[in-house]
Amino acid sequence: MTLRIGVIGTGAIGQEHIARLNGKLAGSSVTAVNDINPESAEAVAERLCPGAKVHATGQGLIDDPQVDAVVVTSWGPSHEEFVLASIAAGKPVFCEKPLATTAEACKRIVNAEMATGRHLVQVGFMRRYDAGYRLLKEVVTSGQIGEPLMLHCAHRNPTVPAHYVGEMGITDTFIHEIDVLRWLVDDDYVSAQVIQGKRTRHALNGLDDPYIVVLKTKTGIVIDTEIFVNCQFGYDIQCQIVGEDGTANLPEPATVPLRKASVAGRPILMDWKLRFIDSYDVELQEWVHATVEGKVTGPTVWDGYFAAVTSDACVEAKRSGAIVSIDTGTKPDFYR
Ligand code: NAP
């Protein structure tokens, strides 16, 4: 069976996902698109999925009988509306992160999905599909390094654009660690603290950069992550797990060792898209297969809600300097 997909939001990641779902991956085709800018949607359809219907509204696309499942890649504040409408229509939906821009909105989606009694929504936290993180998780679950005790992580970008302001280091950048680290150690966070670093001269618009976020989990694991988005030298994602019997590191991406200009070493990627490009393919291919089988096997609405609550706590911790509790309430049996 070919899963017929409608994509809402034909911007940067929307176009990449359309190209994947309409040619590169098996078992799917894009039959409808929508964007708030109709000309953009028309042009994208013509280029990437000729014949797909261009809808004037997201709701029109969701109601289209030629659409079996929906992919939401519009900007964050519109996600709640389209995810809730897809749930109401009983259609599976893949929503790019964030699930919604507030924890309250994510909770509304949790409640709406549970009310249907069906798992319909997957959230686009693609790091869980990265080969390196998957290998690291295998090491943890196999018990090779014993119980994880501490994690030392870093999320470094060479630079960020001028519109990267305020707390985006948490809400846009660290949000990926929030999801993947919780998945990696299979534990929930209970508190967040932020320690400001000395500000780099490369930070624009008064941005705080760098800083360290410290998360503590229910079982007592301490996770420190350096967020440094103007590090200049590369897109550098690090993760080391310290266990009772050893340590395990996230593998470096495969690059060719060079000897050049009196240096022997490996290049560091500069573009985040290249670092995780394969994981997007794996993520959407698994989503297509699971959706055809009527399942959700990836990050759930509860994971999206948990990430939003944690992100809010980190923002509060950064602003206040205090250790802030993370409380999502009890995970419903529906998501166990
Ligand atoms: P983008 O290039 O701005 O694309 C978003 C598109 O959606 C734009 O064409 C935008 O139009 C359109 N749009 C906005 N509101 C809409 C609405 N109500 N109905 C229909 N279309 C609407 O942004 P992007 O970089 O693709 O990001 C899109 C989403 O994906 C964001 O939530 C982002 O966080 C997420 N994302 C995730 C990853 C990841 O690694 N998982 C990577 C990149 C992006 P306008 O330009 O007129 O606003």
Tell me the per-residue pLDDT of 178-187, one tens digit each, with 9 for 90 and over: 999 999 999 9
Average predicted confidence (pLDDT) for the chain: 97
CA-to-CA distance for 168 and 174, rounded, in angstroms? 8
Burial 196-227 (b: 16+ CB within 10 A, else e): eeeeeeebeeebbbbbbbbbbbeeebebebbb
59 lines ligand 1 (CB under 6 A): no
CA-to-CA distance for 227 and 268, rounded, in angstroms? 17
User: φ and ψ at 96, to 5 degrees?
Assistant: -60, 155
8 lines ligand 1 (CB under 6 A): yes
253 lines ligand 1 (CB under 6 A): no
- The pLDDT of residue 19 is 98
60 lines ligand 1 (CB under 6 A): no
Give the total number of structural domains in the chain: 2
12 lines ligand 1 (CB under 6 A): yes
- The pLDDT of residue 11 is 97
Residues 170 and 317 in one domain: yes
CA-to-CA distance for 130 and 281, rounded, in angstroms? 10
44 lines ligand 1 (CB under 6 A): no
pLDDT band at residue 273 under the 50/70/90 scheme: confident
* Predicted TM-score of the model (pTM): 0.96
Residues 73 and 208 in one domain: no
Per-residue pLDDT, averaged over 282-298, amounts to 98
**Cα 15 to ligand 1 centre (Å):** 10
The CATH number of the domain holding residue 87 is 3.40.50.720
Position of tokens 């119980």?
147
Residues 93 and 133 in one domain: no
CA-to-CA distance for 10 and 194, rounded, in angstroms? 35
Could you list the residue range(s) of the whole structural domain that residue 291 is in?
3-126+278-299
**Cα 292 to ligand 1 centre (Å):** 26
Q: Is the pLDDT of residue 205 over 90?
A: no
Sheet with 148-156, side-by-side order of all strands: 247-249, 236-243, 148-156, 222-228, 211-217, 189-196, 324-325
Name the 3-class secondary structure at 167.
coil
Q: Is the pLDDT of residue 94 over 90?
A: yes
73 lines ligand 1 (CB under 6 A): yes
Sequence-distant (6+) residues with CB within 8 A of 65 are none
Tell me the per-residue pLDDT of 122-166, one tens digit each, with 9 for 90 and over: 999 999 999 999 999 999 999 999 999 999 999 999 999 999 999
Residues 121 and 133 in one domain: no
CA-to-CA distance for 184 and 172, rounded, in angstroms? 20
CA-to-CA distance for 131 and 277, rounded, in angstroms? 11
- The pLDDT of residue 311 is 98
Residues 28 and 94 in one domain: yes
154: left (phi over 0), alpha (psi -120 to 50) or beta: beta
Residues 216 and 312 in one domain: yes
CA-atom Rg of the chain in angstroms: 20
Per-residue pLDDT, averaged over 13-18, amounts to 98
**Cα 8 to ligand 1 centre (Å):** 9
Measured by CA distance, the residue closest to atom 46 of ligand 1 is: 11
Residues 146 and 258 in one domain: yes
DSSP 98-125: PS-SSHHHHHHHHHHHHHHTS--EEEE-
Question: Which of 7, 16, 39, 75 is the pocket-test mutation for ligand 1 (most atoms within 8 Å of CB)?
Answer: 75
Cα angle 61, 62, 66 (rounded to 5 degrees) comes to 70
Percent of the chain with pLDDT over 90: 98
- The pLDDT of residue 299 is 98
- The pLDDT of residue 50 is 98
Residues 108 and 25 in one domain: yes
Per-residue pLDDT, averaged over 253-267, amounts to 95
- The pLDDT of residue 1 is 86
The CATH number of the domain holding residue 239 is 3.30.360.10
Per-residue pLDDT, averaged over 46-72, amounts to 98
Residues 185 and 327 in one domain: yes
Residues 184 and 64 in one domain: no
40 lines ligand 1 (CB under 6 A): yes
- The pLDDT of residue 216 is 98
Position of tokens 């870093």?
154
User: φ and ψ at 145, to 5 degrees?
Assistant: -110, 15
| H-helix or E-strand spanning residue 248 | strand 247-249
| H-helix or E-strand spanning residue 258 | strand 258-260
